[in-house]
Amino acid sequence: MVEKLTAAIEETMETQVVFTIPIFGGIPVSSSVVVTWIIMAVIILLSIIFTRNLKLVPDKKQVIIEAFVSFLRNFCRDQVGEKGMRYFPYLSTVLIYLGFSNLIGLFGFIPPTKDLNVTAALALMSIILIEVAGIRAKGTKGWLKSFTKPVAIITPLNVLEIGIRPLSLCMRLFGNILAATIIMEMLKAIVPVFIPVVFSLYFDIFDGLIQAYVFVFLTSLYIEEAIDVEE
């Protein structure tokens, strides 16, 4: 029993290398990259299918996609405000990608967000975008000055936050998805019938979507804070 559980945990912990590109002494391509390619292909295909033949009077297909896009726009407008809608494409892209990648465990693929490298890259993209948004909105001088707000004594904490924010964004997503995958693997190792289906509803669908939401929510919250100019 214990050996079975240990094997299940060890299997989920390691990152699988699918194949190696035979240049520069071999570049290993891990499964998260391959699954990301699959997600990209699916999203691109869906975008092409849904945005072909757009009409002024929408048909059924177009109504669905219009409802979806306006849902995303409203969600972002609520978080970042009218000024921040410039960052809507990035936020919605990350939301769609994370939604797909957290749900892809249902189809038997390994979720790419279970790989620490993927979440670290996403968190780095987010923190760079946040700081650039701050610089654009306030100017370099205003951006530097914003570190001393609200009181000068907490400047070190504000500087530390540049490092802490992406770290916690990255670890939160990675830890949640990893924990969910480990628990599912352990369940499958002990009771292979029926019980995993029930838990999969929570761990794969609910938790995955909540984490995608939380990642984008926090990113947009930080952006909103960064572009908030005091008069």
Partner 1 sequence: MSVAIGAAIAVLTGIGAGIGIGIATGKAVEAIARQPEAKKDIRSSLILGCALAEATAIYGLIVALLILFFL
- Rounded CA separation 228/231 (Å): 10
**CB within 8 A of 111, min separation 6: which ones?**
35, 101, 102, 104, 105, 177, 181, 208
**Site membership for partner 1, residue 172 (CB under 8 A):** yes
Kindly indicate which of the ranges 22-30, 96-104, 140-148, 207-215 contains the residues binding partner 1, using the contact rule CB under 8 A.
207-215
- Rounded CA separation 217/88 (Å): 12
Please name which of 132, 89, 110, 126 lies closest in space to residue 214, comparing C-alpha atoms: 126
Kindly indicate which of the ranges 17-25, 46-54, 189-197, 215-223 contains the residues binding partner 1, using the contact rule CB under 8 A.
215-223
**Site membership for partner 1, residue 18 (CB under 8 A):** no
Tell me 109's DSSP state.
P
**Site membership for partner 1, residue 214 (CB under 8 A):** yes
In the complex, the smallest distance separating the C-beta of residue 179 from partner 1, rounded to whole angstroms, is 6
**Site membership for partner 1, residue 221 (CB under 8 A):** yes
Sign of CA dihedral 138, 140, 142, 145: positive
Residues between 50 and 79 that touch partner 1 (CB under 8 A)? 78
- Rounded CA separation 126/214 (Å): 13
Tell me 149's DSSP state.
-
The 152-171 site mask, x for binding partner 1 (CB under 8 A), equals ----------------x--x
Size of residue set near partner 1 by CB under 8 A: 17
**Site membership for partner 1, residue 110 (CB under 8 A):** no
Contacting partner 1 (CB under 8 A), which of 74, 175, 195, 201? 175
Decide whether 39 or 119 has the Cβ nearer to partner 1.
Answer: 119
